[in-house]
Every structure is written in structure tokens, then in C-alpha cells.
Amino acid sequence: MKEQGWQIRVRGQVQGVGFRPFVWQLAQARGLRGAVLNDAEGVLIRVLGPVGDLPEALKTQAPPLARVDAVEVSVAVFEALPNRFEIIASGEPGAETRVTPDAATCPACLEEIRGHGRRRGYAFTNCTHCGPRFTILQSLPYDRARTTMAPFEMCPECRAEYENPADRRFHAQPIACPTCGPRIWLEVGGQEVPGDTLALAVARLHAGEVLAIKGLGGFHLACDAANPRAVAELRARKRRPAKPFALMCREGDLAQIVTVSPQALSALKDPAAPIVLMPTLGTLPANVAPGMTELGVMLPYTPLHHLLLDAFQGVLVMTSGNLSGEPQVVGNDEAREKLAPFADAFVMHDRAIARRLDDSVLRVDPPMVLRRARGQVPGTLPLPPGFEDAPQIVACGGQMKAALCLIKNGQALLGHHLGELDEALTWEAYLQADADYAALFDHQPQAVAVDLHPDFRASRHGAERAEREGLQLIEVQHHHAHLAAVLGENLWPRDGGKVAGIILDGLGLGPDGTVWGGELLLGDYAGFERRAWLKPAPLIGGDRAQMEPWRNALVRLDAAGLSDWADALFPKAPREIARQMAAKGVNAPLSSSAGRLFDAVAGCLGLCAAGQSYEGEAAMRLEALAARAEASPQIRFAGEGAEIDPAPLFLQLAEGGDAAGLAYAAHEALAEAFAVRARAFVQSGAAQAVALSGGVFQNALMSQLMAEKLFDIPLLTQRQIPANDGGLAFGQALVAATKLET
């Protein structure tokens, strides 16, 4: 018998978040007949009877982890519906909906593991409001059989919770308990150590040992952050002499190590549970974050973390389990092989990790995402007005901080941080991610967008894929992609007019064959004009100039007529050979890079002059030094036209003075030089706003100075998408979409 009723389609982040039991409860309260299921497009509801306020309730009362993009209601005729309202099995596999990011342990589950019930002390406690999602998902729709929880058959008690629509674990796919779920153990030398795992682990941490701990998206290496010898040992083993370590502690311990603002605490307690940068109080050993004024801290985000920190009663270093430069280790056997030189013992578990995800990193003042990863991925972003009908596109990103972006159905999926593609294992992870996202989201692109630089591995891969699959290849200039990324994040309409884009970063190939990195662009998604730039200087030794600041200092000092001071500053450096290379243009491409300018200033001030132990160290130390300034000289760069000459800055550095004040002055002078030119474009009507992008704007001081100087001008900044190359693919995709449709 056919019956007429209503079909309600819910689109968004609605799978794996308890949405079906939520719908069931709404239907029960309204006395409705029908059914709800997951399918390839999201959640589908079939209803007999007056729907009343049900569509509105689906939006306004949704579960904590849900994100509802659209609720579509239409009249439908059904062959047969149940005599009551039921939750039925998922439809066919597919991928027209979002996948939920992993979420930190919710308060209810936390209370449970600290209580006296059957999940007391259980390290894999979760419910529909928290726990693993993307890191265990193997295919869509999101059901247990398609996750790495499939091998764990539910016990009768868990099955009863899973099947009870009134229980908060109803259809919680990772549901588990000590009887039927994964387990933890401590092992040394490949052998399990008998006893209480947490007690054994805590004893070793207090003894100054380094532990490898399996988490959601991979392994961490942990040690006692208050023990300088343990921290030093971890640095030596990991070959990471200076890069700041991330920390993990309980909320109650935060005030002992950092200054906690309400905004920072809110970010820490978000379900994404990111690492948040906060001002240090200087109470931990200096070798936790050498030369820095901030610490990167996260709260425990899994039951295992909570149980460990409760027992440890202190602050832990919690850094990625990998050799510096390589991707994070995820498998048990892989960990035994690769982390054995680093770790004295392993805290293992037997739930497989489907995909590796680093911890996300952000700061709240000013707000910005520095690394988009666990807890944020694979959340999607809406495309700006005018891109609703954009075709499916895959964008390949850049060489550094690589990430992929897929456009489909008016949404952009910006993938997780992968890293530096010159590293072989990171390259493997990149290729895996490309295939993984394409399969997981049923993506069938019309075009591939790549960076203009032909030697980027991502660009070569994109070109090969386009040729192999018969797709259109679209090359996008590096800084145009940065400009489009900040426009897109701010939902700048496709026809919104041109903006003045201040793009400051490390490097990007310009159409003129030089290396750009300090530019003022006038443009939009469709194109750009380069209207101002830093005076170019040779990158002596090419890529080596990125790691040895003395090279950048030498050419800037020589250009300012300060060769004698350069000789005094860098007496052991091969200066004459370097100068010959610069003069002849041998492996010394010209560059307008703002990043290399900051390296030069750092080198002049004695910061990492001979070499950096990690990317961005010199600039980060320069920013930290500037933060200590009490006063600073006023410096203005030379040049009234398009070319901005920083020579006056180096003349001031040569005169000497307070190092912190000079570091601050360098930031202020660079901000002023670009802000005054960008302001003029807006005031003349040539631009509608000013947009800031590029890795230099992850420097909090630089962002703050620019905002102060443009306080009365419409200003577009990046908050959800990294301003560095982690956001490049998003911009590439938007530029490519514009070119395809014009």
C-alpha cells in the first residue's frame, strides 16, 4: 500500500555524531512513523504525519559534533513504512557527505572512566559525542564494519547500549569496554611487561625515561617536561636540538606553566583539542622551547591521555613519534622498528590507525591555524558566492607543508598537513593521501591545479595525474594562490572586486623567473598584477640560503655598503666564494622573499647565523626577541615606487643598540612599507580591501602590526586556513575553478 508522506534530506557533518538517534528521539516525541538512515548524501528521513517543527529542530537542536548545512523537505510516496519510527541500516556506500573529525573525550565519558562502573579506567571509552572518527574510518558510510573497530565483536552489554536509541552510545561505532574492546599494554624490547600498564608507564616517566605512546593519529614520544635531562635525552635521540616541543597537561596544571586567556582555554577545550600557543611563565626547563616566549600546550584528548596524566600528576612533553622530517609512525610493528632508538618503552594498543594525523596547532591572539590536522580534518569549508556550481577539482599544494584540496558540491575539503615532500616517507604519505581522499570522497575531478614551479614534487605529480587521467592541468602562481586562499576563507564573492594582497612568505616562483616572497598584488580569483615588492637579493647557494641566515645577511649588508661589517660578523663563512656566486648569478637566484629578509636580520643580531636546526627557527627567534622590546628606533625602508629597499634597516643594525628594540623595528618597518602602499590602493578605489597571506603572517607580531596600521581599512586575514603553504591548495582550487568557468 502506497502512502504519501515527507522525505527530509539533511546535509553536512551528520554521520558518526549521533544524528540518527537524535532524529529518533525527535520523532518519538512527536509521535511520527517512519525511518532514518545514513546514505551517500548524509542523513535521509522518511516520515508519515505532520512534520511540524521537525525540520527546524533538526537544525537548532543538533548533537554537539554535528554541523547541519541544509535541511531539504519534499513530498514523497512510500511503498511501505514501519508502524513506528525506526533507525535502519545505512544505504549504499558513497561519499556525498562530510566525515566527522576525531573528537576529544566528552565530560560524560571522562566521568565514567573516573567513576566506579564497568568502564572505570578503560582507555577506549567513547560515545556518539566523542572519540575516534576519521582516524579509524576506512570507507563510507560510517559504520563499524567500515572502521578499524570491525575486529572487536561487541559484548552483550555493549550491544545492548548500541541498540538502545535512548542510550548515548546508540550506534556509536567505536563503542567498547574492557570485555570486548581494544586493550593497552607496556612493552620493552618487543616483550610485554606484566603489571598495571599505567603504573608502569608513570614510574618510567618519573625516572626520566622516554616513552612511545600510541594515540589517535599516530605515536607520540613523551617524557617529563620538568626534567631537563629527560628533555635533553629526547632531543639527542630525536636529532631535534632546538625546535620547541609540544606539551600535554591537565587543565588544572596550565596556570603553572603558561598565561591562560579565556580564548586560549576555550580553544584547548574544543572537541578538536589542538595544540595552542600561549605565553610561557618560564617555570619549565629552557630546553623545552629554546629561545621562545610561547609554549605549545594541549589538554589530554583521549581516555588514555586522561588516565596517564591523572596518574603522572605533572606536565609531559608530547611530541610526534618520528625522526625529524619523517611522517608520524602509526603501526605497532612500524613503531617497534623506527622508534626503538628513541623510546625506552612503548605504551601500545591493538586498535589500528587507518590514517596518520598530526596534532593541529593554533594561536588565539591573533586567531590563526598554524597546522590543520587532527580534530579539524576532514571538515569542509563553504565556497564563496559565485562558486556554487564549481566543477570538481583537485589541487596539489606546494612543496613545503604540503596539503591537498578537493572541491565538490560547493564545498572545499582541505586535507591534513603532510610536511616537506623532499622527505621520502612524507612523499609516500602524500601519494597515499591523494588516493585516500579521492576514494573516500568519491571524487572525480575535471582538472588538477598545481603550483607554477615545475620542480615541486606536488606539481610534477599533478601533471602526471592530469596526463594519466585525461584531466585539464592548471598552473597557479604561488602568491596568487595565497591571495585566493585568504579571499576564499573570508567568502569574498567571486565578483567582489579586486583587493590589495600583501603576500609575505619564504619563496614562490614568479612568472618573471625570479623567486618572489615579499609582494603587493592587486587582484582577485581571476588574476593579479604585481604592484610592489621587496628589492630582490641573491639566494646564495639556492636552497642552502633557507637554512644558513649568514648568506642572506651577507648580500643585504653588501647591498647597503656594509661589507666590512659583514666580514666582521661572519669571519669563518666562505664570504668571497659566496660573493662571486652572487655577482655571477651562479646558483644564486634573485629573491624578494620577506622570510629571507627576516633571516638576514636574525643573522645580523647573532641568531642562528651559521645555520638553522629547523625551518623558520631564525624568524621565530627574531619574533621572540622582538616581543621583549621596551623601545625601538623608527626605521623606514627606502623607495617611493614599486621596489622597496630595506637598506636603511641594515644601516641601523650596524649602528648597534638594544637587540630586542632592533628586532621589533625590523618588523615595524616591513609592516609600514607594505601597509602604506596597500592603503593607497584602497583609498584610490583600485582595491576594495587589503588581504594578508603567506607564512610570515603566522608571526603574531607581524600580523598585529599590520592590523594596527590598517585599522580603518577593510582587512581580510586567515584564521581557519593556514596562511603558510598549508593553505596553498585551497587557493589553487579557487583559481582553477575560476579559470575553468571563464
- Helix (H) / strand (E) containing 320: strand 316-320
Q: Which fold has domain 184-362?
A: DHBP synthase (3.90.870)
Phi, psi (deg, nearest 5) at residue 77: -115, 125
- Integer Cα distance of 364 and 485 in angstroms: 20
Residue 92 confidence (pLDDT): 59
Residue 39 confidence (pLDDT): 83
460 is catalytic: no
CA 421 from centre of chain: 16
Dig out the grid coordinates for 407 from the structure: 572541491
CA 89 from centre of chain: 34
Q: Which of 33, 38, 490, 575 is catalytic?
A: 38
Residue 96 confidence (pLDDT): 58
Q: What is the DSSP letter of 176?
A: -
379-490+722-741 and 534-716 share one fold: yes
User: What are the extents of the domains in the chain?
Assistant: 3-87, 184-362, 379-490+722-741, 534-716
Q: Which fold has domain 534-716?
A: Nucleotidyltransferase; domain 5 (3.30.420)
Residue 684 confidence (pLDDT): 97
Range 3-87 classified under CATH 3.30.70.100: yes
Dig out the grid coordinates for 712 from the structure: 580603518
Q: What is the DSSP letter of 153?
A: P
Q: What number of other Cβ atoms are within 10 A of residue 199's Cβ? A: 11
Residue 179 confidence (pLDDT): 97
Residue 379 confidence (pLDDT): 82
3-class SS letters over 340-395: CCCCCEEEEECCCCCCCCCECEEEECCEEEEECCECCCCCEEECCCCCCCCCCEEE
- Integer Cα distance of 260 and 347 in angstroms: 30
38 is catalytic: yes
One CATH from 3.30.420.360, 3.90.25.10, 2.60.40.1220, 3.90.1150.10 for 379-490+722-741: 3.30.420.360
- Integer Cα distance of 180 and 183 in angstroms: 9
Residue 359 confidence (pLDDT): 96
- Integer Cα distance of 633 and 601 in angstroms: 15
Indicate yes or no: pTM above 0.75. Answer: yes
Residue 97 confidence (pLDDT): 60
Residue 82 confidence (pLDDT): 79
How far from each other are the two terminal CA atoms of the chain, in whole angstroms? 51
Residue 326 confidence (pLDDT): 79
Mean pLDDT by 10 residues, the chain (742 residues): 87 85 91 88 88 92 90 87 82 62 96 96 96 89 88 97 90 94 97 97 98 97 98 95 97 98 97 97 97 97 98 97 84 95 97 94 96 92 94 96 94 92 89 88 94 96 97 98 98 97 96 95 98 97 93 97 97 96 94 97 96 94 96 92 96 96 98 97 98 97 97 97 97 97 70
Contacts of 389 (CB under 8 A, 6+ apart): 410, 741
- Integer Cα distance of 475 and 484 in angstroms: 14
CB 70 within 8 A of CB 20: no
Residue 142 confidence (pLDDT): 74
Q: Which of 20, 363, 372, 494 is catalytic?
A: 20
Dig out the grid coordinates for 587 from the structure: 646558483
